[in-house]
Structure 1
């Protein structure tokens, strides 16, 4: 190994790297150890410090952070002695920020993100935004890509990359298409916050090199970051899946027009840092050998760097050979010469902040690298991480000192190009050398590549072969199960025995920042991680489990497989689905949340468990003779071919289209309709006549609470009251005379503000949280208290910090008293919630609630049991 260990001498000898001379001046290259005949560009920045002297944290989930004190520098050779030109010198009066360098394939153009200096005294919404800038080597022109100040400041634009056709793909908060669609909801246009609600979501956009024709191409509720173009023309990027408790930053691909969004690598490999700590795949870029070069680093911290890792995503979708982070690491490998520590402790081999491959047939990289250093206890001076300095009684890390280096991971050599001084760092660098242009993927043409009617209607098609296919396995086959072929045969399996009956589709609701709408966050309800959602509708699942339905384009969608009552039977969908207008998205089936079998990546997922129709020219067994199948077709595809593409429906409605009446009678039709509700509808009245463009929006106070208060009197033939089944008649803490009492079943369903949380009604808290049982004591309701017992069943008494018993005034131990809680009736989904057991046939409350009411409660629970599902309907602060 030829790693240069004599770093202190090397740093001194290479510190003379030239000034801000003309980049065309060149220099005497004979003395340089490596001659590289193309320019490099890099970002030199000052380290940022908090008021207490601590380094400013770098958080990849906060990509809009502004760290002033940077400059963009170019050298005409990748050598220490080549002169430097500060390309951004003189642009601004004050400290600005630069990041996200990228180059064109011919090496003639440099594109990057830059933010102008802070405006003193201006509000946050009046401060400059991140903009995309372009430098042309031939003309030596430096310009902002979007000339108009008004358009440039519409959002934060970062992480640009050149597409093969000369356009630029970048990540931005401008959310152009998403903002436009808000007008359909009668909402003001705004950029939605990411799901953690800390900042606006960055998603992918594309534009011409002159800043025109800006189009949004990805639709995520959280960030889509660091796009780069692969050799095959697809865009690879970091996608933050942050739905409903998921927190993964993994690699996805998408085509330049926004179609074919697909998982690529690492969804279940989030803990591949040192000692399996959290680590993110940062700044992906394809290497000449086809692997992906990334910096593997902690998502946030003050070290600013991590390990050099190559990912073999062509052959692997996860890091480990076995699920759950077990087995051999096969999908990725460190290509650093020595081990790099990424868990926050000292890394003797140093850390890498960024890396860029050379395209000259070598194994060299241009890296931003910091030596490992600690502070000498006596002097406070930085010292290298040798055994001598690491053996100090108190080891304190020194500030990083990232310089620019040529790093050959195969040869084991490392040569300095730009040496950083104390208090500064070279945060990233690129070479402006020619390389092979990625393949050009032409834009699909309506009427040629895409269905013109679908494009005009702004919809795409979702085509699922079978929801009974789990990771390529027929989940109902074997162990006496029917299997998909038997479910598809109506003579073997009637509709009532098919578990999956409908597909429910919901869309994400955009959340504005406080400047647009300062609403109370209690509006999210019990689980803020679920966000807010609208229900777009339902479509029947065909007997073989297949689905083919038109869905609106350009919005984050989530799907759920539900039973005949509208209750989800498969785990919650954890990633947002998107369709572009005219796109047909095919899917084999489903998978569980913890499955590590590739799902959503067509070239790696297992073959479908359902082959479809075995022959052409005949119907599926025992189905309508007119429904003649073609080989390989699913039932949903057959219907679409014969009767046209299906649209989402408002209600849960079933009609037997399949059973051959010559074989047996058709299954009875059924419908659970919103129109049957006697309480306020979660839809606009006009949507009862035409569902096109409609959705249901469920708020607990307006739509669920009225169910508990609806009068439910049972009368005899003469109109005399036999029984009052109104929920609050029994489930309240006051009787008809106004006297205090224990609510029936310890369940209070009244609308009064909860004593536990005044932002919510009592009924909401009682249904969705464990609550203490109460008793009536001296005319007041009080929680029942019992003495706590430890895990061994022993009674627990109060003790001091040393574990000694605390005695009362009589010298007796003081018992620790705890409440006896009633388990909540409603869980995270309708199926599995004890609430519905009470309304099952033969149960105590059978027929108390109507099917439409139970449907409304079921879908409200399944989408997250939010208090409100529209921030503009929630109370403002």
Structure 2
């Protein structure tokens, strides 16, 4: 067997790598489960498997018991609770490794496409992640993250070692959980008929990941290759590595930066049937992180949770929100869930867009699965005045919460209710209902999901003991100090902290974990990021998604000559607007301004005189906090201002087709540059403002429906 993680970065670009494949038949024991069945036959799939921590750990410490210091040893179990799986925070590294890429045929025979585990060493390891399947089902593209392994560390509290110990911090301990400190990631393509792999040479410091096919010949992916850094949120000092969406041919030629509007991070794009490219976008510009606060006025919310679902044309034109940009109010929307971080996208045959919604970092990218029927193009959801609750503002009107037995909070999974579920990997019935993630479409409008069995959060809570009718031990709620492993160990059951496997939904919505059908779930691995390896037509009934041409090809205008570096931005009216906050303008106005409406004062349409265009330049330095100091968190320039009080030659006001004063405009402006629009009065004062980046592609002609008119 030739290991996949030993290629030199000096190898020629896009080499073909012959791989001796390892095949082995999986022998499954017949299951005797209550409500949980196993799929012995199904569709071919590809998935990543990441090493799961299965060992126990003896913790020895000097603690004070009954006033005397003595040495105590306790064996801790459930350490997989500290395994880290890729999510919006651990996107570029610091997740569990090694991870292999596996192809599983319908008969359960598995092929290791890319082997990281067999030759992994502390100094040299890898994780093969993010598989995507071509529309003809002949090529699988994926990313390989490279780096070294380190052990997870955490302070341990004395009561994690002995419940009666006097409280004290025992200092840092090394845990057996292995995490990958990455140095970069590069793309690979596996040709299924030949079993050969080709790849882009590894360049330290560059992260190419999250690929998706936009045609059989071209892919989109996220990359750090333009070397920008993220927005500095006011009150913080951090500017992280930024990622943008790029496209290129499968043979690595003709790369193109396709998201000039993205100035923080975009993650895991996915091609929709309508030809648009959906992706998870980190929206942290200006006041957006202050839509609600953690500690009072002037403080931001949990920044990493501000990932929403957007879509753009494959070339980067016409970016627009699908879910989350203006919605979520720390309260449940009409479909029974709150919005946190939306990530990991798929689309089923009925054109419903599915994604995971979870709390960042502590929960392994697991939480709820949300299914959205997208609103018509140009609309986001329920209007501010139509919504009965702030939590429903701009929420799409047709949403399914896949499983009410899961949740997206920064807490352990719900206790298992209803019928018990016994899993073949564990002797005791599962005490936790678990959490969900990584949806993937299957034929016949089917859905594959990743189910995390266990508490699946490093934040502990003692609720499980009362649910089991047991006395609550000390130190089983909170985070840090070893409390999560103390929670699992104190259960004294053969049960995981969090063990993730791939399952098929037998009904939507799911009524109980027992109605999931097992596809693959090994005790030794976390199985994640599954995708069906079938032609696109087997799922969607057509050979490929709709084709959307480049912006410069599909538009024609005298001001947009061939090869122009400009685009056109226009609107029929700037008074057709949804900029006024749903609940009015208040003196303490962070919430109203940064959730939905950005009117700075109460004003009438007659006071809107013009539009200001702001150019936003990407940060280029992770120490940018020493270079700028502004609320925007980026360098901002005024590209121009222009009036919109259109008049006839005799000076009288022009009237538009809706019998209102004409405030239409069409402006030629630079392409490939992030910008914001502001409505201004006749003295140039800001009356309303964008708070999310936009951009034009060369030759693009963009028409706005109105100011924030998304319903």
What SS class does the counterpart of residue 96 from structure 1 fall into?
Answer: strand
Q: Which one of 203, 211, 226 corresponds to residue 268 of structure 2?
A: 226
Query: Contact conserved, 2:135 with 2:216, CA < 8 A, in 1?
Result: no
Q: Which one of 83, 88, 105 corresponds to residue 77 of structure 1?
A: 105
Equivalent residue, structure 1, for 2:143:
113
2:563 matches 1:456: yes
Query: Contact conserved, 2:363 with 2:410, CA < 8 A, in 1?
Result: no
Query: Contact conserved, 1:352 with 1:370, CA < 8 A, in 2?
Result: yes
Tell me how far apart the structure 1 counterparts of residues 520 and 574 of structure 2 sit (CA, whole Å): 56
Q: Which one of 436, 447, 450 corresponds to residue 368 of structure 1?
A: 450
Equivalent residue, structure 1, for 2:229:
192
Q: Does the C-alpha gap of structure 1 residues 63 and 450 become closer, same or farther in structure 2, counting only changes over 3 Å? A: farther
Equivalent residue, structure 1, for 2:346:
285
Equivalent residue, structure 2, for 1:435:
536
Q: Map Cα deviations across residues 281-331 of structure 1 (whole Å, 9 max, x no partner).
A: 211211111101111211332343112221122478348953511599953
In the TM superposition, residue 215 of structure 1 has moved relative to its aligned partner by 0.2
**Aligned length, in residue pairs:** 513
Equivalent residue, structure 2, for 1:88:
115
Q: Which has the higher contact order (CA 8 A, sep 6+)?
A: 2
Task: Return 550-559 or 165-174, whichever deviates more.
Answer: 165-174
Scaled by the length of structure 2, the TM-score of the pair is: 0.64
More helix by share: 1
Tell me how far apart the structure 1 counterparts of residues 667 and 317 of structure 2 sit (CA, whole Å): 17
In the TM superposition, residue 259 of structure 1 has moved relative to its aligned partner by 1.6
In the TM superposition, residue 24 of structure 1 has moved relative to its aligned partner by 6.1
Q: Does the C-alpha gap of structure 1 residues 117 and 339 become closer, same or farther in structure 2, counting only changes over 3 Å? A: closer
Q: Does the C-alpha gap of structure 1 residues 239 and 83 become closer, same or farther in structure 2, counting only changes over 3 Å? A: closer
Larger Rg: 1
Q: Which one of 135, 151, 168 corresponds to residue 190 of structure 2?
A: 135
What SS class does the counterpart of residue 147 from structure 2 fall into?
Answer: coil
Query: Contact conserved, 1:55 with 1:302, CA < 8 A, in 2?
Result: no
Equivalent residue, structure 1, for 2:91:
63
Q: Does the C-alpha gap of structure 1 residues 308 and 61 become closer, same or farther in structure 2, counting only changes over 3 Å? A: same
Query: Contact conserved, 2:48 with 2:101, CA < 8 A, in 1?
Result: yes
2:504 matches 1:406: yes
Tell me how far apart the structure 1 counterparts of residues 23 and 44 of structure 2 sit (CA, whole Å): 10
Equivalent residue, structure 1, for 2:206:
155
Q: Does the C-alpha gap of structure 1 residues 216 and 29 become closer, same or farther in structure 2, counting only changes over 3 Å? A: same
Tell me how far apart the structure 2 counterparts of residues 425 and 447 of structure 1 sit (CA, whole Å): 45
Equivalent residue, structure 2, for 1:237:
279
Tell me how far apart the structure 2 counterparts of residues 119 and 335 of structure 1 sit (CA, whole Å): 36
Tell me how far apart the structure 2 counterparts of residues 66 and 432 of structure 1 sit (CA, whole Å): 28
Q: Does the C-alpha gap of structure 1 residues 534 and 337 become closer, same or farther in structure 2, counting only changes over 3 Å? A: closer
Tell me how far apart the structure 1 counterparts of residues 551 and 689 of structure 2 sit (CA, whole Å): 33
Q: Which one of 318, 326, 332 corresponds to residue 260 of structure 1?
A: 318
In the TM superposition, residue 400 of structure 1 has moved relative to its aligned partner by 0.8
Query: Contact conserved, 2:566 with 2:669, CA < 8 A, in 1?
Result: yes
Equivalent residue, structure 1, for 2:403:
336
More strand by share: 2
Equivalent residue, structure 2, for 1:388:
468
Q: Which one of 35, 41, 44 corresponds to residue 46 of structure 2?
A: 41
Task: Return 398-407 or 91-100, whichever deviates more.
Answer: 91-100
2:639 matches 1:536: yes
Equivalent residue, structure 1, for 2:483:
none
Task: Return 305-314 or 385-394, whichever deviates more.
Answer: 385-394
Tell me how far apart the structure 2 counterparts of residues 65 and 571 of structure 1 sit (CA, whole Å): 39
In the TM superposition, residue 258 of structure 1 has moved relative to its aligned partner by 1.7
Tell me how far apart the structure 1 counterparts of residues 221 and 197 of structure 2 sit (CA, whole Å): 18
What SS class does the counterpart of residue 354 from structure 1 fall into?
Answer: strand
Q: Map Cα deviations across residues 94-141 of structure 1 (whole Å, 9 max, x no partner).
A: 321232221112222211121122399xxxxx9731112111111101
CA RMSD of aligned residues (A): 4.0
Tell me how far apart the structure 1 counterparts of residues 470 and 326 of structure 2 sit (CA, whole Å): 35
In the TM superposition, residue 388 of structure 1 has moved relative to its aligned partner by 2.8
Q: Does the C-alpha gap of structure 1 residues 174 and 88 become closer, same or farther in structure 2, counting only changes over 3 Å? A: same
1:6-17 equivalences under 5 Å are none
In the TM superposition, residue 164 of structure 1 has moved relative to its aligned partner by 2.2
Scaled by the length of structure 1, the TM-score of the pair is: 0.52
Query: Contact conserved, 1:111 with 1:133, CA < 8 A, in 2?
Result: yes
Q: Map Cα deviations across residues 421-464 of structure 1 (whole Å, 9 max, x no partner).
A: 26x42232222122222122233555975668445341101112
Equivalent residue, structure 2, for 1:524:
628
Tell me how far apart the structure 1 counterparts of residues 610 and 248 of structure 2 sit (CA, whole Å): 39
Unaligned runs of 5+ in 1: 1-19, 121-125, 176-189, 376-381, 474-496, 592-596, 599-604, 606-877
Query: Contact conserved, 1:404 with 1:429, CA < 8 A, in 2?
Result: yes
Query: Contact conserved, 1:555 with 1:578, CA < 8 A, in 2?
Result: yes
Tell me how far apart the structure 2 counterparts of residues 163 and 287 of structure 1 sit (CA, whole Å): 17
Tell me how far apart the structure 2 counterparts of residues 305 and 116 of structure 1 sit (CA, whole Å): 24
What SS class does the counterpart of residue 456 from structure 1 fall into?
Answer: coil
Q: Does the C-alpha gap of structure 1 residues 164 and 547 become closer, same or farther in structure 2, counting only changes over 3 Å? A: same
Equivalent residue, structure 2, for 1:270:
328
Q: Does the C-alpha gap of structure 1 residues 441 and 541 become closer, same or farther in structure 2, counting only changes over 3 Å? A: same
Query: Contact conserved, 1:403 with 1:418, CA < 8 A, in 2?
Result: yes
In the TM superposition, residue 386 of structure 1 has moved relative to its aligned partner by 9.6
2:693 matches 1:576: yes
Q: Map Cα deviations across residues 764-798 of structure 1 (whole Å, 9 max, x no partner).
A: xxxxxxxxxxxxxxxxxxxxxxxxxxxxxxxxxxx
Q: Does the C-alpha gap of structure 1 residues 304 and 590 become closer, same or farther in structure 2, counting only changes over 3 Å? A: closer
Q: Map Cα deviations across residues 187-220 of structure 1 (whole Å, 9 max, x no partner).
A: xxx4233444431221111000011111011122
What SS class does the counterpart of residue 400 from structure 2 fall into?
Answer: strand
Tell me how far apart the structure 1 counterparts of residues 219 and 449 of structure 2 sit (CA, whole Å): 24
2:245 matches 1:204: yes
In the TM superposition, residue 507 of structure 1 has moved relative to its aligned partner by 1.1
What SS class does the counterpart of residue 579 from structure 1 fall into?
Answer: coil
Q: Does the C-alpha gap of structure 1 residues 414 and 563 become closer, same or farther in structure 2, counting only changes over 3 Å? A: closer
In the TM superposition, residue 531 of structure 1 has moved relative to its aligned partner by 2.8
Task: Return 531-540 or 390-399, whichever deviates more.
Answer: 390-399
Unaligned runs of 5+ in 2: 1-18, 32-37, 60-78, 151-180, 290-305, 416-432, 477-486, 489-495, 538-543, 581-604, 647-661
What SS class does the counterpart of residue 469 from structure 1 fall into?
Answer: coil
Query: Contact conserved, 1:291 with 1:314, CA < 8 A, in 2?
Result: no
2:576 matches 1:469: yes
Q: Does the C-alpha gap of structure 1 residues 498 and 366 become closer, same or farther in structure 2, counting only changes over 3 Å? A: closer
Query: Contact conserved, 2:576 with 2:707, CA < 8 A, in 1?
Result: yes
Equivalent residue, structure 2, for 1:563:
681
Equivalent residue, structure 2, for 1:307:
368
Q: Which one of 517, 525, 545 corresponds to residue 415 of structure 1?
A: 517
Tell me how far apart the structure 2 counterparts of residues 48 and 458 of structure 1 sit (CA, whole Å): 53
Q: Does the C-alpha gap of structure 1 residues 199 and 388 become closer, same or farther in structure 2, counting only changes over 3 Å? A: same
Q: Which one of 120, 123, 131 corresponds to residue 101 of structure 1?
A: 131
Equivalent residue, structure 1, for 2:608:
500
Tell me how far apart the structure 1 counterparts of residues 324 and 470 of structure 2 sit (CA, whole Å): 35
Tell me how far apart the structure 2 counterparts of residues 371 and 386 of structure 1 sit (CA, whole Å): 19
Q: Does the C-alpha gap of structure 1 residues 62 and 400 become closer, same or farther in structure 2, counting only changes over 3 Å? A: closer
What SS class does the counterpart of residue 325 from structure 1 fall into?
Answer: helix
In the TM superposition, residue 38 of structure 1 has moved relative to its aligned partner by 3.9
Tell me how far apart the structure 2 counterparts of residues 563 and 227 of structure 1 sit (CA, whole Å): 39
Equivalent residue, structure 1, for 2:704:
587
